[in-house]
Amino acid sequence: MNKKTIKYIGFYDSSSNTVEKRNFRLSATNKMDYIIKALNEIGYDVEIISPSWTIKNKFYRGKALKIKDNVILRLFPTLPWYGKILKIISVIFSFSVMFFYLLFRTNTNEQVIIYHSKWMSLPILFLKKIKSNLTIVLEVEEVYSDVKGSKFWKLIEYKLFKVMDKYIFPTELLNKKLNIENKPYAIVYGDYHVKEISRTRFEDGKIHIVYAGTFDPKKGGALAAAAVAEYLPDIYHVHILGFGSNKEISLLLDKIEQVTKKSNATLTYDGLLKGQEYIEFLQKCDIGLSTQTPDATYNESSFPSKILSYMANGLTVVSARIKVIEISEIGNAVFYYNEQSPKDIADTILSIDINEVNDSRSMIKRLDKQFVKKLKKLLKNE
């Protein structure tokens, strides 16, 4: 297979470069890593181009880092992050350097993938204006101006969506909303990497339920999961894993204390687990909870990554009835509750026969194969 190189632009940094403290979101880099894996599978080497600037009061030079044999990361010089004015200059400088790199280092009719961010909109619009023959595949994870932003940014963001050539979306609903002209697209809900089974059971005879995610009260998931324990019998153990501010953790611990006094089921806060430790914990459990507030604005565009994580580790999933999940290709494999109440969630949990064969891992493997084929088709017509 002849190797070709494709440029993938987005906020990214390597774990080997933590000393520079360049800004990026772990959720974004995880999604990029999965798509990079798929690109490698269909024969592409990948050059990641990152405008990430440092958040330290220090200047750093640009560099190219080898991530693995067929992936390199290109980072640009970054100015010290200090004081309001210098911070603004630093952001403008980083995007300017990236813009000129793309302007002079992309060829006519070349195809690039760009992970959409609010701040990326203007430089990419300018680039497309100057190099109209450049084929841009825009990876849209969220419409930022729909959640927060001025009329100016909404105009810019929707202008960007309109002039792009191809798309990668996280949900069918977002494709329907933004891809008005039905341009080529692929949909990937998240990371379809199925984790190797290495699980050892708790061996206490209980059914173990886990909520893993944010403790943000606005999203409601952790507090709703904790409240469920009050309506479950003593054969169940509800685990809460995740992250939040000190205030959010304190609020959760207070909730756990209140529920424990009234509950026959076991309810515990098990901290923030990462990497292999997180995977091994999930694989000890039976049911995964996706209990986020069902009517939140972001539910139209984002697919809950925890659902894929649960399924990749062999868990049965209980979720709020959200359209983006229901119409997805895994929609029929999820158990839904209709009301955001502890009793309704508990009733859904109690309806699950834990002894039935759960084929969730096979379903994620199938989605992985489908996406690789769709990505190959998306990029083939260059």
- What is the model's pLDDT at position 149? 67
- pLDDT tens for 290-311 read 998 776 655 666 788 899 999 9
Instruction: Please check whether residue 370 lies inside any domain of the structure.
Output: no
Instruction: Please check whether residue 178 lies inside any domain of the structure.
Output: no
User: How do strand 287-290 and strand 207-214 relate by DSSP bridges?
Assistant: parallel
If asked whether residues 160 and 215 sit together in one domain, one would say no
If asked whether residues 11 and 157 sit together in one domain, one would say yes
Segment 268-293 shows an average pLDDT of 91
Contacts of range 120-127, beta carbons closer than 8 Å, 24 or more positions apart = 120/9, 120/51, 120/95, 121/153, 121/156, 121/157, 121/159, 121/160, 122/95, 122/156, 123/95, 123/96, 123/98, 123/99, 124/160, 125/156, 125/159, 125/160, 125/163, 126/99, 127/99, 127/102, 127/103
- pLDDT tens for 124-158 read 999 999 999 999 999 999 888 776 767 888 899 99
CATH of the domain at 140: 3.40.50.2000
Q: For the chain, how many structural domains are there in total?
A: 2
- pLDDT tens for 70-93 read 999 999 999 999 999 999 999 999
If asked whether residues 299 and 229 sit together in one domain, one would say yes
Residue 382 in this model has a pLDDT that exceeds 60: no
> What is the residue range of 225's domain?
207-359
pTM check: above 0.85: yes
- Which phi-psi region, left, alpha or beta, contains residue 220 (left: φ > 0; alpha: ψ -120 to 50)? left
List CB contacts of 315: < 8 A, sequence separation 6 or more: 210, 282, 285, 286, 287, 288, 358, 360
List CB contacts of 181: < 8 A, sequence separation 6 or more: none
- What is the model's pLDDT at position 1? 46
Query: What is the distance of C-alpha 39 from the center of its chain?
Result: 18
- What is the model's pLDDT at position 297? 57
If asked whether residues 333 and 245 sit together in one domain, one would say yes
If asked whether residues 108 and 36 sit together in one domain, one would say yes
Instruction: Please check whether residue 37 lies inside any domain of the structure.
Output: yes
If asked whether residues 151 and 234 sit together in one domain, one would say no
Instruction: Please check whether residue 196 lies inside any domain of the structure.
Output: no
| CA-based R_g, the chain, Å | 22
Question: What is the rounded CA–CA span in Å between residue 131 and residue 201?
Answer: 57
- What is the model's pLDDT at position 331? 93
Count Cβ atoms below 10 Å from residue 259 Cβ, excluding itself.
Answer: 20
Instruction: Please check whether residue 74 lies inside any domain of the structure.
Output: yes
Residue 168 in this model has a pLDDT that exceeds 70: yes
Structure confidence at residue 63 as a pLDDT band (50, 70, 90): very high
Are 193 and 312 in contact by the 8 Å Cβ rule? The answer is yes
Query: What is the distance of C-alpha 316 from the center of its chain?
Result: 20
Are 327 and 157 in contact by the 8 Å Cβ rule? The answer is no
Higher pLDDT, 294 or 119: 119
List CB contacts of 142: < 8 A, sequence separation 6 or more: 116, 298, 301, 302
Longest CA span, the chain: 67
Comparing 177-186, 197-206, 346-355, the range with the smallest average pLDDT is: 197-206
- What is the model's pLDDT at position 295? 67
Instruction: Please check whether residue 189 lies inside any domain of the structure.
Output: no
